[in-house]
Structure 1
Amino acid sequence: MNPDATTTASPADRSTTTGTAGTGTGPTTLLPRAHRRGRPRGTGFAVCLVLLTVTLIGFFLSPTGPVAGLWCLAMMLVLMFMSVPVALSLAIPSVIGVYGLSGIPATVNILATAPFHTVSKWSYSVLPMFIFMGMLLAQSGMAAKIYRATDRWFSWLPGGIGIGTTAAGAGLASVSGSTIGMTYTLGRTGIPEMLKAGYDKRMAVGTVIVAGLPGALIPPSILLVVFAGIASVPVGPQLMAGAVPGILIAVTFALFILLIGFVKPSLVGRRPGAARGSTATWKERFSSLGEIWGFPVIMLVLFGGMFSGAFTPTEAGAAAACTAMILTLIHTRKDKPLGKVAVAAMNTVSATASIFFIMIGAEMLTKLLAITGLAPAITSYITGLGLSRFAFLLILVLLYLVMGMFFDTMSMMLLTVPILLPTLSAMDVNPLWFGVFVVLLGELGMITPPVGILSFIVHNITKNPAVNLGQTITLKDVFVSLTWFLPVAVLFLVLMIAVPQMTDWLPALLERAGGAQ
């Protein structure tokens, strides 16, 4: 990351770069968006206090358990908009709800047992391994090398630099576990490269914004691990369920950029007098692959171990993290290698603790929903509407796109999945498929105008003269770029609904190989 990053970024941007060495996996990225933009003051804060008081009164006057549960959810949302961290926003209403409905003994029990039972789940033990692997790769400087390699291999195509950016984004986001961190890194590298090649500024910005979407699905995905824990499904099959859709959506964006290159070549720098991208020789292309040899080695350890049956998913994560540590020591052997590993380890502890803290709050919410009976009541209501599976999922698409304007993907999952799980079986929705669907929806919500956080992060990045190369890139340009790419993503979501089998065959293959946990 460039040293002037913190001088050009907004407060929201800085929160994603300083928390955990620019990976975007730190505590600040796991807070509601209002928190990252500053606490509400004046009239806004007073309104929030009034609403909080109303929810408390409404809860204690509730005639039934489900109604009390709704008031607790309302209280939770008010706390989030008051900029209370997500973990506390989940835990406080849950504790109040349990106390109001079941008394002091149940409250003491949930406070005493929920933290341990949540973080001691075996399925979550893979999380610090994946996070550590991403931190190590960030410290090793592999990000720039991956981008350079993809640029040399794809830039000869119409729109080739954009295609290379998409490929680099998928790889970087999958190993870093953070779409936000990858977007920041790729934005500072990819946008100026595309502008130099004559790309339309909106095309350059839009390509970077959507480049990280596949990484949220391609293993190892931290979000899919979290979903597996919430939904009580095996981690290995859930990770594998995201692989094919992740690769396919990356290919879909690449084909869209290629199509633009043929239909409207001026948008990708293919006009007289404009640069046509890299003229790399075959020697340079193969040389660039030699610079990133560690990346396929890690993937081989991770996937090869699981498919061969040598490792469970958790063991494969540990083996991949160990491999990443060895590679980091090799790549940084002349630049304080032990210090790089130490920084990665400290950042891993910080990121893991913040995620576990939120999960404890989510566990308390799940217990509250069980006590109030709200989840079964919602299931009965939805099934009573007579909606088809397709209609139910389309409604969820709209719901998540709206929620994505205010919350990050982790927060949306923790808020909604415990409530929706009982409904899935009634609607004949496979939990493995739904995990992939929810994660992709959450990531799309984070780029959706008018308040998608990734849009603002990229806009702040483009204010740097080293990134915009003298061009003025407005927020309107960012939003216009998204109107080009978002329809492609929405069409892919519809394809997922129509062809759910794309998530099934790889987990089935893993199970046959004897690697399922």
Structure 2
Amino acid sequence: MDPILLASLVIALCLLLLLGTGVWIALSLLATGLVVFHFFVPLDAGSIMASTMWDASWNWALTALPLFVWMGEILMRSGLSSSLFRGLSPWVAWLPGGLMHVNVLGCGVMAAVSGSSAVTAATVGRMSLPELTARNYDRNMMVGSLAGAGTFGLLIPPSIIMIVYGVVAQQSVARLFIAGIAPGLMLIVLFSSYIALWSKLNPDKRGDLPERLRFVEKLRASRELLPVVALIVAIIGSIYGGIATPTEAATIGIFGALLLAFLNGTLSREMVVESLLSATRISCMISFIIACAACLSIAVGFANIPRAAAEWVQSMGLSAGALIFVLTIFFLILGCFLEGISILVLSSAVVLPMIKAAGIDPIWFGIYAVIVIECAQITPPVGFNLIVLKSMTGRGIGDIAKATLPFLCILLLAIVLIYLFPAIVTFLPDLMFG
């Protein structure tokens, strides 16, 4: 058997065995890398692994990661969900679907300050689910729209997973952030359009009509949103305007989040300590996965698997569209068993040479990968948004996944749209950075 094919099979079997038996993802990646070195690479693994882990762990772009995670943890505990609901509900009351649009717009706003899908879904759902239930809205649409819109936390900047992609693909995090704005807004429009169409087709399930407010009353209610909007402008505007790097913008975001918690009366020593500890745990987990994935990537590189994969793509004569189709199926299968960051770092060593060989723009591919990984957040059995909503509603994962299926289809439609019209992704970063 060809040694490269044999090495690929060994990697797949090792990962299936280790992940299937419950070994930590990071340790599974590290152990698989050691196996590859031992059997397929005639070099000493010790010094190479040590230097690789060190290089992967001190990358400057990663400094933004714990800061954005901490900002999201502060905001989740700051009472932001009630402010979002009170500020947004008067403006969407007239739309078909009524307050159901708060799930979509609220997740869009929260995504712009949290960077995390699970935090976005949990924060918005904490307030919207009781309010929508009390107004007799359809439970399936209520849960499905929240699970689907919660994925905006991965796409709308600042995004934790974009930082990870920028590190593993050696791409500008600032360009990725800017590239995610237009696709994120497109998804908000698509989700709200579907809710409006569904409401028109199912008038008996649309819930109690909310009270209409005068324009002045809407403006008064919108005061609740002003601190959040100011925080979004401070973070994205500082990056967009070239005033701050993503790391510096994250620092601005933390100060803004602490100020927002102070204004809401939720700032306390206990809250700060809890948010800091939670952010530390999450950041360490992500960084450990990235470092161990780098070890597997270097082992895979020494085994010549990426070069062989790139040559295979060229020999097959696959068009860029055919390759994207195959990779979409591949990522969706992985998404049934792994969370987003693990999918990204696990596949990068083989997939990135493929897209380079196919002539695909790595910035465009980064946004595509994030949207596919958004799908992974709402596919059972390991869909983080499904798990979050299961804990909040008590419903089964299967029921929640079924309710979320239309929004999964919309995410897949978004992939088709950005493939047909790549300028949706590339226009803003090209305009800003040339």
The answer to whether the superposition gives a TM-score over 0.5 is yes
Q: Paired residue for 2:367?
A: 436
Deviation readout 1:197-234 (Å, 9 max, x if unpaired): 33222211211111112221110000011001010001
Identity rate of aligned residues, in percent?
27
From 408, 427, 432, the counterpart of 1:505? 427
Q: 1:112 to 1:170 in 2, by over 3 A?
A: same
Q: Paired residue for 1:154?
A: 92
Deviation at 1:374, TM superposition (A): 0.7
Residue type of the alignment partner of 1:166 = V
Q: Unaligned stretches of 5+ in structure 1?
A: 1-61, 270-274, 464-472, 513-517
Q: Unaligned stretches of 5+ in structure 2?
A: none
Cα distance in 1, alignment partners of residues 103 and 88 from structure 2: 7
Residue type of the alignment partner of 1:504 = T
Deviation readout 1:297-327 (Å, 9 max, x if unpaired): 2222222222322222322222222332333
Cα distance in 1, alignment partners of residues 289 and 246 from structure 2: 23
Deviation at 1:446, TM superposition (A): 2.6
Q: Is 2:259 the counterpart of 1:326?
A: yes
Q: Is 2:14 the counterpart of 1:81?
A: no
Contact 1:216 1:443 in 2 (8 A): yes
From 19, 23, 34, the counterpart of 1:95? 34
From 116, 122, 127, the counterpart of 1:178? 116
Q: Is 2:230 the counterpart of 1:297?
A: yes
Q: 1:310 to 1:457 in 2, by over 3 A?
A: closer
Q: Paired residue for 1:378?
A: 309
Contact 2:81 2:126 in 1 (8 A): no
From 211, 236, 248, the counterpart of 2:186? 248
Aligned to 1:259, the other structure's residue is in SS state helix
Residue type of the alignment partner of 2:68 = F
Cα distance in 2, alignment partners of residues 425 and 160 from structure 1: 45
Q: 1:450 to 1:347 in 2, by over 3 A?
A: closer
Q: 1:204 to 1:331 in 2, by over 3 A?
A: closer
Q: Is 2:343 the counterpart of 1:409?
A: no
Deviation at 1:284, TM superposition (A): 4.2
Aligned to 1:140, the other structure's residue is in SS state coil
Contact 1:136 1:344 in 2 (8 A): yes
Cα distance in 1, alignment partners of residues 69 and 275 from structure 2: 9
From 272, 277, 283, the counterpart of 1:346? 277
Cα distance in 1, alignment partners of residues 267 and 166 from structure 2: 37
Cα distance in 1, alignment partners of residues 158 and 428 from structure 2: 14
Contact 2:115 2:156 in 1 (8 A): no
Cα distance in 1, alignment partners of residues 404 and 275 from structure 2: 34
Cα distance in 2, alignment partners of residues 328 and 336 from structure 1: 5
After alignment, is 343-352 or 210-219 more displaced?
Answer: 343-352
Deviation readout 1:376-407 (Å, 9 max, x if unpaired): 11121222222211111112222222221111
Q: 1:399 to 1:112 in 2, by over 3 A?
A: closer
Deviation at 1:329, TM superposition (A): 3.5
Q: Paired residue for 1:52?
A: none
After alignment, is 448-457 or 365-374 more displaced?
Answer: 448-457
From 72, 81, 84, the counterpart of 1:134? 72
Cα distance in 2, alignment partners of residues 100 and 486 from structure 1: 41
Cα distance in 1, alignment partners of residues 246 and 5 from structure 2: 38
Cα distance in 2, alignment partners of residues 263 and 120 from structure 1: 54
Aligned to 2:44, the other structure's residue is in SS state helix
After alignment, is 306-315 or 211-220 more displaced?
Answer: 306-315
Residue type of the alignment partner of 1:78 = L
From 447, 450, 461, the counterpart of 2:392? 461
Deviation at 1:150, TM superposition (A): 1.6
Aligned to 2:77, the other structure's residue is in SS state helix
Aligned to 1:504, the other structure's residue is in SS state helix
Q: Is 2:409 the counterpart of 1:478?
A: no
Cα distance in 2, alignment partners of residues 67 and 287 from structure 1: 66
Contact 1:124 1:229 in 2 (8 A): yes
Q: How does 1:32-71 map to 2 (within 5 A)?
A: 64-71=3-10
Cα distance in 2, alignment partners of residues 478 and 359 from structure 1: 30
Contact 1:329 1:338 in 2 (8 A): no
Deviation at 1:439, TM superposition (A): 1.2
Cα distance in 1, alignment partners of residues 236 and 110 from structure 2: 17
Q: Paired residue for 1:312?
A: 245
Residue type of the alignment partner of 2:423 = Q
Aligned to 2:360, the other structure's residue is in SS state coil
Deviation readout 1:431-450 (Å, 9 max, x if unpaired): 11111111111121231356
TM-score of the two chains, using structure 1 as the length reference: 0.79
Cα distance in 1, alignment partners of residues 280 and 380 from structure 2: 33
Q: Paired residue for 2:140?
A: 202
Deviation at 1:451, TM superposition (A): 6.0
After alignment, is 429-438 or 343-352 more displaced?
Answer: 343-352
Contact 1:157 1:258 in 2 (8 A): yes
Residue type of the alignment partner of 1:164 = V
Aligned to 1:98, the other structure's residue is in SS state helix
Cα distance in 2, alignment partners of residues 354 and 451 from structure 1: 17
Aligned to 2:411, the other structure's residue is in SS state helix
From 167, 170, 193, the counterpart of 1:229? 167
Residue type of the alignment partner of 2:281 = S
Cα distance in 1, alignment partners of residues 308 and 288 from structure 2: 28
Aligned to 1:407, the other structure's residue is in SS state coil
From 273, 277, 286, the counterpart of 1:355? 286
Aligned to 2:180, the other structure's residue is in SS state helix
